[in-house]
């Protein structure tokens, strides 16, 4: 039996707690899915870079190019990559549009997760302080551990978001070292072959970013049961507060 009284938060505070629990839970339900979609996209980008890096580690540069600028560059195109990802090196001397778009998507995701991580870290710091005020109410005692664990998991996810942004920006730094025009690539393949190393290293950083995205979604998933337990207790106390003297079990 839960009794409304000094052991329970006042109705006004319960209303605020219930509102925060409801909408923050819904917000987390979105972030249990969104990082997984982003992780899949990153893995596709990483595979494309790996395919190019592996191919360029062994490919021999063509001694002469075809006269048509729209002809495919046999020495630069990785087997199967054109059909899988659309990355097509042509003799026209420009970086493939698909790789430019890939870098743009990495940059956009880095900016997005960086902002999300900063916001979430600040929100969780405030939540931690607010939860400190609930310690004084014994009616919530056995669910305060659950509620604090939610904040802990979200704080860890916030840190992951920040690291994901750093990884993606460093991957972009590595890719910026490579001139992706066919003439420059052929010059590199005929000499030091540094381009493959930059692409493979960038792909490894992108892989780790994808892993962290999946891990952050896992942390959010772990909160699901905790939200249910905490919200159920708050709802129970709210019912008692709305109908004083009516026992509930």
Q: What is the pLDDT of residues 232-243, one digit of tens each?
A: 999 999 987 555
Q: What 3-state DSSP class applies to 90?
A: strand
CA 216 to CA 32: how far, in whole Å? 8
pLDDT confidence bin for 248, thresholds 50/70/90? very low
- Residue 200 · residue 50 · CB < 8 Å: yes
3-state secondary structure of 245: coil
Predicted pLDDT at 67? 81
Assign 245 a pLDDT band (cuts: 50, 70, 90): low
More confident residue, 248 or 57: 57
Is there a contact between 172 and 110 (Cβ–Cβ < 8 Å)? yes
Query: Helices 97-134 and 34-58: crossing angle, nearest 10°?
Result: 140
As a whole number of angstroms, the distance between CA 53 and CA 225 comes to 44
Task: State mean pLDDT over 25-50.
Answer: 94
In three-state secondary structure terms, 72 is strand
Mean pLDDT, residues 85-91 taken together: 94
């Amino acid at each position: 039996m839960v009794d409304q009284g000094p052991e329970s938060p006042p109705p006004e505070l319960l209303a605020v707690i219930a509102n925060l629990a409801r909408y923050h839970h819904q917000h987390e339900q979105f972030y249990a899915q969104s990082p997984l979609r982003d992780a899949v996209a990153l893995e596709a980008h990483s595979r494309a870079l790996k395919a190019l890096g592996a191919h360029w580690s062994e490919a021999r540069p063509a001694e002469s190019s075809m006269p048509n600028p729209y002809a495919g560059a046999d020495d630069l195109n990785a087997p199967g990559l054109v059909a899988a990802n659309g990355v097509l090196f042509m003799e026209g001397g420009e970086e493939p549009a698909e790789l430019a778009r890939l870098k743009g998507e990495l940059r956009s995701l880095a900016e997005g997760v960086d902002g999300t991580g900063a916001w979430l870290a600040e929100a969780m710091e405030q939540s931690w302080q607010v939860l400190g005020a609930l310690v004084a109410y014994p009616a919530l005692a056995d669910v305060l551990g659950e509620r604090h664990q939610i904040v802990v998991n979200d704080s860890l996810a916030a840190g992951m978001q920040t690291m994901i942004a750093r990884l993606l920006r460093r991957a972009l730094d590595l890719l910026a070292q490579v001139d992706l025009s066919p003439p420059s690539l052929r010059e590199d393949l005929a000499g030091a072959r540094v381009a493959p190393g930059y692409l493979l290293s960038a792909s490894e950083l992108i892989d780790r970013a994808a892993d962290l995205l999946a891990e952050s979604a896992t942390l959010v998933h772990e909160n699901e049961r905790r939200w249910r337990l905490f919200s159920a207790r708050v709802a129970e106390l709210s019912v008692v507060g709305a109908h004083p003297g009516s026992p509930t079990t």
